[in-house]
Amino acid sequence: KIEDNLGNATLAEVYVDWIDKKAPVAELESCNTIEAGERTDGEVKLKIEDTVPYLTQFALMDHEGEPDEADFERFENLMKENKTKISVIPSDKDYGEVDENYTIIIRGITGTYWLGYKSSDTLGNEISTIIPGTEMTLNDAEIDLVNVSFDPKITKSSTVGTLKFNVPVSILSDELVTDSVYENLQLAVHYGRFPDAKYATEHEFVYNEAKERTYYVCDEAARAKQITFDMDNVQFIKGFETDIEYRLKGEPVTVNQGNWIGIEKDGDLQIVVTPHKDYSAQYFIPLLSDGDNDVRVNEQLSLFALNAPAEVYAAVYEQVYSPSVYTKITFDVLKNGRNVKQAKFISYTMEGVKVERAQTESIAIEKVDETPPNINWVLSNTAPNNKSVNAYISFNDTESGIAKVEEKDAQGNYVVINESEYAETNQIIRVINDRDDIKTIRVTNKAGLARVVDDISAPNIDKTPITKDVHYKIKYYYKNHEGEWVPIKEGNYYNRVKAVIEPTGVIIDGIKKELYIDNNNGSFEWILTNTVQSFTFDIRDTAGNRTEQTVEYNKYELEPPTIWHSIDPETKTNQPITVTIYAEDNINSIAHCELYYRKDNQLIKIEGVKRTGSGDKLAEYKVDVTGSGQYEIHVWDEGGNKGIETFQITNYDDSPVILPDDGISYSIPPTVKTGQTVLVTFEYFNKPNVKVTGIDIVSGLTENDIVRGMDLRSVRFKKNGSVMVTFVDEYGNIGYRTVTVDNIKTTPPQCQGKYELADNKTYATIYFESMISDTGQILEPDLSQIYVVSGLINTAATVTADEARIRVNDNGTYNFALSDEVGNTQYLSVTVEGIDKEPPKVTGVKWDYDYLKEDPTTGEWEAEIESGIDNNPTKDRYILSGDKLPETNQDVKVTVMTDKEITQIGSHDKTPKKEVTVKYSKNGVFSFNLEAINDTSVLYGVDVRLIDKEKPVIQFQNTDELIFIEGDTRPESKYDISKLYDFTAYDLRGGEPVEIPKDKVKIDFGRFNPYDINKNEFNRNSPYYITYEVADSVGNIVSATRTVRLIGLTDTVALINGSMPNANSMIALNGVDEFTVSLKNHSGKAYAKYMPGMYTMGEMKYVGKAVKQNPDGTFTIKVNSSGWYTVSVQTDKKDFFNIMVYMNLDGANN
């Protein structure tokens, strides 16, 4: 803001473009992994913008987040180990900064990594961060020779060896190999770094003798290895000689002597095979496959044998089905991408033993180069520029290598470039000074193949000056009354002028300048005024060329036109008013006039303003307006100056005159029904000075039905109807209003009563409707104003006819009285019929249950379903019994159906329905106490006699554990199979046992042999288990398991008074009051306890009296009375015995 001493102020814009707080930014172009055989490498391409040249450092991060010093050191160490390769092309920018385009290759490591960077610009803005999107999963693999193959393996002259590696490698040339293994490995790394080094997973060589071969190879991670292999499977044989000649473009050439041979097309190199002079005759048969071949037969330069001996065809028949026989054969070497070329044929010599005359021949040529060197070039700056730029020219040849590089001089001659200029990088740099400065480079490889690039130029260099009327034009504009900038007329006066620099976009000699303004905030426009009549633009193009251009204009006029007006008519009216506008200017002509109406503080433009006068500096306009209020006149002269005049119009009004709702009063409100007359008075209108001019009947009335007031400001209605009121205001606007009275009533209500039965016919609902006339008219349109004053049931409140819903439970006639709000009364009756009062009836019984049925063939139990229905059940009770239906051990569902909706009394489910279901889990009678929704009920019993859930019983005569001793012959304890069949099975039916035949009992002996006791193992610690299983008639199954313990001669056993208990572990003693428990075949500790009565081993865990062990290891137990005693013995070796002893103190006879 600039201010003088008098307080005059203006705002001046200041343009600053040299503040830079942004650090160099990394823009990722791509991040990919590259499969290099078994190795996976990473390649990242990116641009670092606005950085100091060669100052950027990179970090290889094994984590996300921000890089640390260890990450930068990791990248630096990989560079020292040649595992990281960086190429960068800088692009110059202003202030000594560059954009750098990087290609980074990372190899020779395993893991997942990210790339980070650290960089700064010339102002010191620094950054150190990760580069998003650079995640790489890499894998390393050491060099390994995977396979060596030879073709052919039996040869007279040469064979082609193919070496396959697991990763791409380069191989040190034989002429560079020394006697030092260490030095050779160093050389392999050194030459492997050269741009021309050929890296491949497969290499081919031509061999003329079989011997051990050694090569020094290097991978792309600069790791060298010595590879050695033998050629034991290749056999070089002696045979008949043939004459071989090699020709390059028709001239003889030497091959396989370390020199490279270059071919540009098929047939440049030829192999000529002719008979040897020492033989009477030789014939040649080419061996070519159907696929890719290194050679083809040149028929024009070969001699076809027309009459070859039959023995020639017979000798080669097995190898070539339909042979072509030549006496001279010329092979054209083909371009197919291989550096080794091989020709195969059969020679047949008419000498010596017949069986040795046919020989397979192989001719191989190595170091054949088919492609000239590659040449690429880029510019240091591709943006428009008026300075010299560098061309970075790179070249390589991964096959024969670069022999020489030449540059065309100003006279058009090629000049050889010194090798030292490009030896390390295979790159030269040339300065291009102008867009017409075009460089030509020729690169020749060691095979003599050359490539020429003759378009190395910088079309982005533009040093031509910026010229007025060529590259831009100056135009001047002024703003007209529509706010548009239009061209000025030279010599006219304006209040302000806009000067514009307009680029032409013209293309001259292929150059299209892109212009911009270096000052004025970059704008191509400037406003010239009476106080600032000139301005100088600083114009630049994108190449950096610049010029200054001054714009100026000096004729200005700032005074607006003078305005006045008149209106017609000036009296009150509702017709359009004509406004006449006059405008005058002393210098410029009057250009335009507009009239606006101000409403709600907004200007609304009045259309239709027409110029009626013929003068230029004094103009007249007319327009019709329809409204009172404030108006504004806007007039423009041709210099862009605008004058404004405001005025008021107060004598116009065309708004409608209205008799509003609240301007009408009623002696009785319209909402109140009455039997009296109603006086309607017109109290006021929406504007003053309104006069009523007429009251006319519209409908429903005669002249005798109304009385008009003297001043027509009121009217009295004797009956319902409508009149039309006419009135006019002082501007002549006429209004109309229909006034209606419809609340005079003298007739009683005209209603009728109706009823509707419930869906289940248990009750009826009485309601009221309006009566309908013969013509279909509703006689009582508003039932909410009719009241039921008599006949309501169970309430003393007054209910309107539209809401009355009277529920009755009995048939009969019901009387009602209805009254309107005036007091008119109607009496009516409603007769109700059809209410159902009958109790429910049981119409059917259903049953549904699962049961088991035994398959008589397999003995398996199969699930069946029984369901049925009886639609004619007995009256009070129903029986489901086994004499008619299958019995079951499952629950039975019984459903009772009725003729009407019912609920079960006492049930939580109160939803009425026509059936009720009960699930029986046992036999018995259930009484269905069913209540209908009409308050009647029925009691119905269902007796179920089908359910049997009680399992059968298996009882053993002996104990559930039988013990047999090896070699025991005592009758009571020796083994007998009948002791396994000492069971009884029965089912309980009505509390009484019913025996089940023994053949119905299934016995599973497991691993026990019941037929020969000696075929089982006598080992008390490995008992046998027998399972007994039986089912009753409905499928209830019970099983019992019995233990058979066989005591061996060395097993520990418990004896009572020195005797073994029987198989049931029982023994009886007569005439004694004590007994001794001893253990046989046991040494160690033992524990014993006893209890009067018979107990199982499980029960004895918790009861019993301990017995003290005697010194000799026995236990003595003394009793006081006869009866059963249970003894439990346990050893420290986990042997358990449970013996039941019967003591008969009185002797055997008692």
What is 106-125 written as a DSSP string?
E-S--EEEEEEEEEE-TT--
Order of all β-strands in the sheet with 1123-1131: 1066-1070, 1136-1144, 1123-1131, 1086-1092, 1105-1107
User: What's the mean pLDDT in 117-142?
Assistant: 91
Domain edge (last residue) among 235, 263, 295? 235
Q: Using a pLDDT cut of 90, give the percent of the chain over it.
A: 64
Q: Any idea what DSSP says for residue 268?
A: S
Query: Is residue 194 within 8 Å of 170, Cβ to Cβ?
Result: no
In a domain, 956, yes or no: no
Domain holding 599: CATH number? 2.60.40.650
Domain edge (last residue) among 328, 354, 369? 369
CA dihedral 762, 768, 774, 776 (to 10 degrees): -100
1073: confidence class by pLDDT, cuts 50, 70, 90: very high
3-state secondary structure 893-921: EEEEEEEEEEEECCCCCCCCEEEEEEEEC
Q: Are residues 431 and 485 in the same domain?
A: no
In terms of residue numbers, what domain contains 440?
374-456
Query: Is residue 70 within 8 Å of 83, Cβ to Cβ?
Result: no
Q: Are residues 887 and 928 in the same domain?
A: yes
User: What's the mean pLDDT in 861-890?
Assistant: 92
Query: Is residue 724 within 8 Å of 695, Cβ to Cβ?
Result: yes
13: confidence class by pLDDT, cuts 50, 70, 90: low
* pLDDT beyond 80 at 660: yes
Furthest-apart CA pair in the chain: how many Å? 169
Higher pLDDT, 152 or 792: 152
Amino acid (one-letter) located at 861? W
Residues near 71 by beta carbon (within 8 Å), at least 6 away in sequence: 59, 60, 61, 62, 116
269: confidence class by pLDDT, cuts 50, 70, 90: very high
Q: Are residues 644 and 577 in the same domain?
A: yes
* pLDDT beyond 60 at 1150: no
In a domain, 970, yes or no: no
Q: Are residues 583 and 539 in the same domain?
A: no
Question: Encoding tokens for residue 841?
Answer: 């009836």
Question: Encoding tokens for residue 97?
Answer: 């900064």
Domain edge (last residue) among 832, 860, 887? 832
Query: Is residue 818 within 8 Å of 751, Cβ to Cβ?
Result: yes
Q: Are residues 51 and 112 in the same domain?
A: yes
* pLDDT beyond 90 at 21: no
In a domain, 986, yes or no: no
CA dihedral 1024, 1027, 1028, 1033 (to 10 degrees): -170
Give how far Cα 283 sits from Cα of 349, 664, 976, Å: 7, 136, 104
Average pLDDT, the chain: 90
In a domain, 518, yes or no: yes
| Number of domains into which the chain is organized | 10
Q: Are residues 642 and 725 in the same domain?
A: no
Residues near 5 by beta carbon (within 8 Å), at least 6 away in sequence: none
Q: Are residues 514 and 406 in the same domain?
A: no
Residues near 632 by beta carbon (within 8 Å), at least 6 away in sequence: 595, 596, 598, 603, 644, 645, 646
Q: Are residues 690 and 729 in the same domain?
A: yes
Q: Are residues 164 and 86 in the same domain?
A: no
53: cis peptide before it, omega within 30°? no
796: confidence class by pLDDT, cuts 50, 70, 90: low
Q: How many other CB atoms are found less than 10 A from the CB of residue 82?
A: 18
Q: Are residues 356 and 252 in the same domain?
A: yes
Q: Are residues 272 and 213 in the same domain?
A: no
* pLDDT beyond 90 at 321: no
User: What's the mean pLDDT in 716-744?
Assistant: 93
CA pair distance 888, 882, nearest whole angstrom:
9
Query: Is residue 961 within 8 Å of 1065, Cβ to Cβ?
Result: yes
Domain holding 879: CATH number? 2.60.40
So what's the pLDDT on residue 12? 64
Give how far Cα 216 sits from Cα of 176, 178, 229, Å: 10, 11, 12
CA pair distance 1079, 1088, nearest whole angstrom:
11
Query: Is residue 988 within 8 Å of 950, Cβ to Cβ?
Result: yes
What are the beta bridge partners of residue 888? 947
In a domain, 185, yes or no: yes
User: What's the mean pLDDT in 855-870?
Assistant: 91
Q: What is the pLDDT of residues 1005-1054, one digit of tens each?
A: 999 999 999 999 999 889 999 999 999 989 999 999 999 989 888 888 89
CA pair distance 1110, 415, nearest whole angstrom:
127
Query: Is residue 1054 within 8 Å of 1135, Cβ to Cβ?
Result: no
Give how far Cα 636 sits from Cα of 210, 494, 606, 981, Å: 108, 11, 16, 134
User: What's the mean pLDDT in 564-574?
Assistant: 91
CA pair distance 908, 900, nearest whole angstrom:
19
* pLDDT beyond 90 at 1148: no
In a domain, 985, yes or no: no
Whole-model pTM: value is 0.50
In a domain, 158, yes or no: yes
User: What's the mean pLDDT in 1067-1092?
Assistant: 91
Higher pLDDT, 229 or 744: 229
CA pair distance 918, 915, nearest whole angstrom:
10
3-state secondary structure 980-1036: HHCEEEEEEECCEEEEECHHHCEEECCCCCCCCHHHCCCCCCCCEEEEEEEECCCCC
Q: What is the pLDDT of residues 474-504, one digit of tens each?
A: 999 999 988 899 999 988 999 999 999 999 9
Give how far Cα 302 sits from Cα of 299, 434, 802, Å: 5, 57, 122
CA pair distance 374, 388, nearest whole angstrom:
26
In a domain, 582, yes or no: yes
Q: What is the pLDDT of residues 974-983, one digit of tens each?
A: 898 998 999 9
Listed residue (465, 462, 393) closest to 433, CA to CA: 462
Q: Are residues 269 and 364 in the same domain?
A: yes
CA pair distance 482, 476, nearest whole angstrom:
17
